[in-house]
Amino acid sequence: MIRLVIYAVIFCLGLYAGVEYERVTGMERCLNAGGSVDPTGICIGAKAP
């Protein structure tokens, strides 16, 4: 049972790390496209490629 809890915690940490990585990557892409990012993480004013 303890092993199951440990696996669940590791899975959740990996999921959280993946979501944060995608968020940061999206913000960098927005800034590289000439846009800006508001405090909620939404891209504003980026030019489409």
Question: What string of pLDDT tens digits covers the 49 residues of the chain?
Answer: 999 999 999 999 999 999 999 999 999 999 998 889 988 888 898 776 6
CA–CA separation, 45 and 12 (whole Å): 33
- The amino acid present at 7, given as its one-letter code, is Y
Positive or negative torsion for Cα 19, 42, 38, 36: positive
pTM: 0.70
pLDDT at 16: 98
pLDDT at 49: 64
Place of tokens 């490629």: 49
Quick one: which H or E segment has residue 44?
A: strand 43-44
CA–CA separation, 46 and 30 (whole Å): 6
CA–CA separation, 44 and 11 (whole Å): 33
